[in-house]
Structure 1
Amino acid sequence: MRKGLELLRKEGIVESRQGFGWYVVFKPVAQTLGRFATIEDQLDEIGVIARRKVLTSRRINPTGRLLEVLGGEDLLEVARLNLADGVPFARVTVWVPAFLGESFSLRDFEEKSFYQLLSESDYLKRPLTYATQTIAAVAMPEGDAKLLGVPSGSPALECERTTFDEGGFPVLYSESIFPGNRTVFVTELTSQVGSIAPSGLRLVD
């Protein structure tokens, strides 16, 4: 069996890492920063078939970060597994005020992005126009590792995004976990006198 795995490694199909075992090599998908777009939009543009699978859908009472961002009203929480050409690509959890999602079905959550659903909703009074996003390197949580088919503790990227309507009111909050070898984020940097640091860079303890 090991000889077979070594042959697959030479062909670039699998790779191994001490402490993590063997895993399938996945060509990273590039996502462009600086655009107000969904993961699915960007995958579609490069010819990758995007699919979603609903993991959980429930109504919750916000606490912590959710309370800080979206306020104290009940929220709809939907966790989905995103696939790219059939391969698990990300676990994405979205929170919106519960009244905005009352008319949506599980099928809606699998067939459309929340941006699409909310734009079609009669309850959203102002269009979604911009978002802020943070990206951090983390160790892959055990639960997400099982969903995404990667070793627990392996490198991952965690993205948190808050989406606002045209009045500057936060409407949607999302958290995405990507295996570190399955996506790259691309941004365009312009020259700025006196600094070589990327704009938006923030050091954390």
Structure 2
Amino acid sequence: MSEHEVSVAGELASDGASARRVPPEWVSSRPRADRARRVAEVLRQRIAAESFPDGVLPDELVLAEQLDASRNAVREALGLLRDEGLVTRRRGVGTVVVMPAYGHGLDRLAGLAEALAGHGTVANEVLLAEEIADPPARVLERLGLEPGAAAVHIERVRRVDGSPVSVDSTYLTAEVGRGVLRGDLETRDIFAVIEETTGSPLGRAEIEVRAATADAETASLLDIRPGAAIFLIDRLTRLSDGTPVDTELLRVRADRMTLRATLYRGLSQAP
């Protein structure tokens, strides 16, 4: 059905005449751009859920029927996804997912490399790994260090099959960090190296996730355009006795990572 036909059908329905029910998103008074954004959001969710196993989306007509939308709205939605780098459109092939998004659960304490296991070869490009005498004040506060205390700073680019996924900036207490610096930082997760160094399991972490856009430096490291969407994951990790040991800021490509959690509603206490 064309948008003109939809408009006419909507008018007939408003006059009480016999006509099929018109979904709200088809009403011609709603801007087409708004309808396209709604379609794009549905398709983003399906891509994140890996609903297209072969990586190829159905053609515009099929999507229009599946999503109860006009073909024009679908075409504009696919254009939005293309601009975001989620899909590419190839003549003779169709609309193809650029790369699947990886899932990272937020309901258990696991490093990013652990979450990426099984998705390809995970490697870390070490940009910086050194002990510093003047860590930022926020690092001292989060790690419970006195002013003037040293810390270890590690910065790495995480890659899966050679493609960058995140830039990880990690600060550790000097006592623990010196041992971590002697570990394998190119192929191992920082959590595993910490536990090996301390001989103690990690206990818990406080995590805050924020949406942000990539600055020029981050965009260059992650191979995305400046201003592209990223996740900022701010994490403070503690040993099993509650001692803070690692504060991290992860800059993660939003088109490559889906953050997931399973939450349970607590039982009410009996009066």
TM range (shorter): 0.7 to 0.9
Verify: 1:35 aligned to 2:111, yes or no: no
Report what 1:89 is aligned to.
Answer: 165
Instruction: Write the letter of the residue equivalent to 1:7.
Output: R
Find the aligned partners of 2:180 and 2:205 in 1 and give their Cα distance.
23
> Of residues 94, 108, 113 in structure 1, which corresponds to 2:189?
113
TM-score scaled by length of structure 2: 0.59
Does the 8 Å contact 1:79/1:91 carry over to 2? yes
**Aligned: 1:7 with 2:57:** no
| Secondary structure of the structure 2 residue equivalent to 1:181 | coil
Instruction: Find the partner of 2:127 among 55, 58, 63.
Output: 55
**Shift in Å, 1:6:** 4.9
Measured in 2, the distance between the counterparts of 1:11 and 1:170 equals: 47
**Matched AA of 1:78:** I
TM-score (normalised: structure 1) = 0.77
Asked whether the equivalents of residues 130 and 164 of structure 1 are also in contact (C-alpha less than 8 Å), the reply is yes
**1:50 partner letter:** V
Could you tell me whether the CA contact under 8 Å between 1:29 and 1:182 is conserved in 2?
A: yes
**CA distance in 1: counterparts of 2:218 and 2:156, whole angstroms:** 11
Task: Give, in whole Å, the separation in 2 of the partners of 1:56 and 1:182.
Answer: 24
Which gives a bigger RCO, structure 1 or 2 (Cα 8 Å, sep 6+)?
1
Q: Deviations over 1:73-101 (max 9, x none)?
A: 21110100001122100001111112323
- Aligned partners of 1:99, 1:188: CA distance in 2, in Å? 35
Question: For residues 118-175 of structure 1, what are the alpha-carbon distances to aligned partners after superposition, in whole Å with 9 as ceiling and x for unaligned?
Answer: 2222xx3643211111100011121110011101111110001111112211011111
Give the SS at the match of 2:178: coil
Gaps of 5+ in 2: 1-87
3-state SS, counterpart of residue 108 of structure 1: coil
Partner amino acid, structure 2, of 1:10: G
Taking a change above 3 Å as real, the CA distance of residues 79 and 106 of structure 1, as seen in their structure-2 partners, is: farther
2:151 to 75, 83, 91: 75
1:127 aligns with 2:127: no
User: Distance in 2 between the 1:77 and 1:146 partners?
Assistant: 21
Residue by residue over 1:60-84, the C-alpha shift from the partner in whole angstroms, topping out at 9 and shown as x without a partner, is 2222321210123211101000011
* Alpha-carbon distance in structure 2 between the residues aligned to 1:66 and 1:148: 24
CA distance in 2 between counterparts of 1:182 and 1:162 reads: 23
In structure 1, how many angstroms separate the alpha carbons of the residues matched to 2:96 and 2:182?
A: 38
Decide whether the 8 Å contact of 1:126 with 1:167 is kept in 2. no
Aligned residues: 176
Q: Which residue of 2 aligns with 1:155?
A: 229
More strand by share: 1
- Structure 1, unmatched stretches of 5+, are 14-24, 194-205
With over 3 angstroms needed to count, the CA separation of the structure-2 counterparts of 1:125 and 1:12, relative to structure 1, is closer
Larger Rg: 2
Q: Is the 8 A contact 1:128 1:165 kept in 2?
A: yes
Amino acid of the residue matched to residue 150 of structure 1? Answer: I
Q: 1:188 matched to which residue of 2?
A: 262
**Which one has a larger percent helix, Structure 1 or Structure 2?**
2
The whole-number CA distance in structure 2 between the counterparts of 1:42 and 1:126 is: 21
Shift of 1:189: 2.8
- Does structure 2 conserve the Cα–Cα contact (< 8 Å) formed by 1:139 and 1:153? yes
Q: Judging changes above 3 Å, is the alpha-carbon distance between structure 1 residues 131 and 105 closer, same or farther for their aligned structure 2 residues?
A: closer
CA RMSD of aligned residues (A): 2.4
